[in-house]
Structure 1
Amino acid sequence: MLSLAVTGAGGFLGWHLRVLLHALGWPEPIVLTRSDLTDPAVVARKVAGADRVLHLAGVNRGDPADVAAGNVQLAAQLAKGLLACPDPPSGLVFANSVQAGNGTPYGDAKATAADVLADTGVPLDNLLLPNLYGEHGRPWYNSVVATFCRLLAESGQPEVHADREMDLVHVTDAAARLIGVATGGPWDPEMPALRVGLRDLADQLASYAGIYRTGEIPPLRDRHDVRLFNTYRSHCFPAHYPLTLPTRADDRGALVEAVKTQGAAGQTFWSTTRPGATRGEHFHLAKVERFAVLRGTAEISLRRIGDTEVVRFPASGDEPVVIDMPTMWAHNITNTGPDELITLFWTNELFDPERPDTWPEPVGGEHRVPAEVR
């Protein structure tokens, strides 16, 4: 495990990085706030002896002059602290952009920032990142994917005035690359990119929204399909839940459609839970998981990693509903009734004990990862 110091820890990439570190059981990184960066002595003290400093802080949107000045200033402030450090870190990773040096204020500022950091003498890994997408991105700021997802979740429709192609990388893959963790879970440090046009992206996400509105699972053909769907779901939670299940009843009894998939793979299983007992207490980084109470009464509780607020849903076999667990939210289910609870679970992938994507985390317990600044 590396000792890490991080700027921009409260942003989109920073939050996902810290969730990944938490899942892996790594120590909480040293956080360099923007206030810290204004004092070279504070920076020098905090980064002394670190294995790696990750410079994620940046300015992505705003007046072009402010964007340009902000990105260069942040790099210069970090550089002053590194130069003042008597025991400098072993390495420095800059979360740069593929737009660096492209002639725009943002791109040229990113290129200048890399030059400033290179002059510190600390070995620099200048990582050129493409467009990042993922759960809980800020619409109209972090990613066009987040903007499209938020519009669709609020019953709007994305508008594409000028189509263009882009490379999209899931933010967890970028986080894995930043810390140098090998493939061994639902991440890939090689950062496989999805090449997609804006119109095709809007159409794909709109298709997900239309299918999922009824509780059906859209086609999930590859890892990017799963991650785009998870990103869309993150903008639906918790307002769109629980999802009511179609029920058909006659004098023989009732038939409930618990899971309908349009080409998605998966695994279905069920459990019994004694009164007062709790199942779960974990989170997933990529897996789609559905809970449906078949008999008895329960409370399904969820907490986003790093947050303190717990979202709770009552569920009963008498009025069938489903709750789909958002990724990066700890969750559990507790039998709140006097009788045995029967719950059906569905996941989009077969369980692999070598790569389970199930990370222990109590919903109401201690946690270490600060929430993303929203």
Structure 2
Amino acid sequence: MRIVLTGAGGFLGWHTRLRLAALTDHEVIPVTRENWHDLDYLVSGADAVIHLAAVNRAESSSDVEQGNIRIGNEVARAVSAASRPLRVVMSGTIQVERDNAYGRGKLAAQRALSEATTTAGGHFVDVCLPNLFGEHGLPAYNSFVATFVHATIAGENPRVNDNPVELLHVQDAAQSLIDGLDCGNERIRPNGIQTGVVKVWKLLQEFHRSYVPTGEIPDLSSKFRINLFNTYRASLFPDHYPISLTPHSDPRGSFVETVRCRGGEGQSSFSTTVPGITRGEHYHLIKIERFAVIQGTARISLRKMFHEEIIDFDVSGDQPVAIDMPVGWVHNITNTGHDVLLTQFWSHELFRPEAPDTFTEPVQPLPKEPSQ
């Protein structure tokens, strides 16, 4: 299926594109501000549209409302201009039930897009989302969780008013949007976890107290804790890394603790790598994975999916360090020395062959095909 994905450069857009790349064979046409002017042309050749582009914040509430109406109308016109049935999935919001600018704008956009889709004989699906959180959210824009993460890392103590809140991890939201591509429903309402604002703040403080000083992995005994920890550590990358490990030496040699975890599953393994060979070349959607070189020298390289910049860490067993791989970042390790490289790997969950959460992709991006 050829899918036009609007808002592909945003928070939800990046995660949806990542999940589509990992779990489907669909061809995804990303639409951002840079190529928005090609929207009509791109939709004309599509089988489906996932519409995520929206205005979350602006100088005034009127700008938020009118901005979402304008964007919705432009996508609706592109769907109408295609003059054929399309599957259209839109990221909706529980805010449509409330009298605020964002909810009113999204509701008007939803109605315009639904009418354009059904008039052309297509199928429209509204994916009604609660509050989202996850890796690479922007503070003071995407989520209060992103704002809390930023404050935690910066050592700030914002005033926190406790309220009940429903939180859905952005990868779960992305899966609901993908489900909309072949479901018979006109509305999908994924359920998040019911929690409190203060509880989120306290969990982030708990993570920060253990992880930053020593690299200790916190209690990961629930899916929510795993998702929140991944959200937190994504904002630490790359400035916080590598994590220094402390050798304890005596005449017999040295002992180095590479992983300390307070709860949840965990699996350790090691590999030997001959000089010049590269391992890895993959990314994960949720797995927390730590690399620690025990012997030899190596270069650990990472690249955020759909970006070109590569971040390199040159590491050595003589000065042991650990690097934790952020989800959605392709990574590899290359033996850059003249001797066999010994590397220890740790992940927060047991390896399951039926669901390995490992997706092949080279760190060095493939050259782009020339335009036809």
Is TM-score (shorter-chain normalized) higher than 0.5? yes
Cα distance in structure 2, aligned partners of 1:45 and 1:32: 11
- 1:257 matched to 2:257? The reply is yes
SS of 2:270 mapped into structure 1: strand
**What is aligned with 1:81?**
78
**What is aligned with 1:229?**
229
**What is aligned with 2:314?**
314
Cα distance in structure 2, aligned partners of 1:247 and 1:264: 26
**What is aligned with 1:15?**
14
Letter in 1 for 2:10: G
Q: CA deviation at 1:33?
A: 4.2
Contact kept? 1:283, 1:359, Cα under 8 Å = yes
SS of 1:238 mapped into structure 2: coil
Q: CA deviation at 1:158?
A: 4.3
Q: Which runs of structure 2 are paired with 1:272-311 in the superposition (5 Å)?
A: 272-311=272-311
Letter in 1 for 2:360: P
**What is aligned with 1:165?**
164
SS of 1:114 mapped into structure 2: helix
Identify which of 31, 50, 56 aligns with 2:52.
56
Deviations 1:156-204 (A, max 9, x none): 33431x211111111111111112289xxxxxx9845121111110000
CA gap 1:107/1:365 in 2 versus in 1, 3 angstroms? closer
Equivalenced residue count is: 356
Q: CA deviation at 1:299?
A: 1.0
Letter in 2 for 1:94: M
**What is aligned with 1:46?**
42
**What is aligned with 2:69?**
72
SS of 2:314 mapped into structure 1: strand
Q: CA deviation at 1:78?
A: 1.4
- 1:131 matched to 2:131? The reply is yes
Q: CA deviation at 1:260?
A: 0.5
Segment drifting more, 26-35 vs 284-293: 26-35
Deviations 1:340-360 (A, max 9, x none): 111111000010011000111
Deviations 1:53-75 (A, max 9, x none): 11111100121010010011111
Letter in 2 for 1:80: R
Query: Which aligned runs of 4 or more in structure 1 are off by greater than 3 angstroms?
Result: 31-38, 42-45, 189-192
Q: CA deviation at 1:4?
A: 1.1
Q: CA deviation at 1:339?
A: 0.9
Q: CA deviation at 1:248?
A: 1.6
TM-score w.r.t. length of structure 1: 0.90
Contact kept? 1:152, 1:158, Cα under 8 Å = no
CA gap 1:45/1:313 in 2 versus in 1, 3 angstroms? closer
CA gap 1:31/1:360 in 2 versus in 1, 3 angstroms? closer
State the identity %. 45
Contact kept? 2:128, 2:189, Cα under 8 Å = no
Cα distance in structure 2, aligned partners of 1:158 and 1:132: 20
Deviations 1:20-43 (A, max 9, x none): 1221352442234457666xxx54
Contact kept? 1:302, 1:329, Cα under 8 Å = yes
TM-score w.r.t. length of structure 2: 0.90
Cα distance in structure 1, aligned partners of 2:340 and 2:36: 56
Contact kept? 1:306, 1:367, Cα under 8 Å = no
Cα distance in structure 1, aligned partners of 2:63 and 2:113: 20
Cα distance in structure 2, aligned partners of 1:367 and 1:179: 28
Contact kept? 1:300, 1:332, Cα under 8 Å = yes
Contact kept? 2:131, 2:143, Cα under 8 Å = yes
Identify which of 75, 96, 99 aligns with 1:100.
96
Cα distance in structure 2, aligned partners of 1:320 and 1:266: 21
Cα distance in structure 1, aligned partners of 2:268 and 2:351: 10
Q: Which has the higher contact order (CA 8 A, sep 6+)?
A: 1
Deviations 1:269-316 (A, max 9, x none): 111111111111111110000011111111111111111111111111
Contact kept? 1:76, 1:116, Cα under 8 Å = yes
Deviations 1:96-139 (A, max 9, x none): 11011411111122222222222212422111111111111111
